[in-house]
Amino acid sequence: RKEVEQDPGPFNVPEGATVAFNCTYSNSASQSFFWYRQDCRKEPKLLMSVYSSGNEDGRFTAQLNRASQYISLLIRDSKLSDSATYLCAVNLGSGGGADGLTFGKGTHLIIQP
Choosing from 45, 59, 66, 79, the residue that interacts with other proteins (CB under 8 A) is: 45
Strand partners, 61: 56, 74
Q: Which of residues 53-82 bind other proteins (CB under 8 A)?
A: none
Residue 40 in contact with other proteins, rule: CB under 8 A: no
The residue (of 42 and 66) whose beta carbon lies closer to other proteins is 42
Within 8 A by CB and 6+ apart from 38, the residues are 44, 45, 84, 85, 86, 87, 106
Residue 16 in contact with other proteins, rule: CB under 8 A: no
Residue 51 in contact with other proteins, rule: CB under 8 A: yes
C-beta neighbour count of 79 within 10 angstroms? 11
Residue 97 in contact with other proteins, rule: CB under 8 A: yes
Residue 100 in contact with other proteins, rule: CB under 8 A: yes
Q: What does the DSSP 8-state code read for residue 83?
A: -
- Binding site residues, other proteins, CB under 8 A: 31-34, 42-46, 49, 51, 87, 89, 91, 95-106
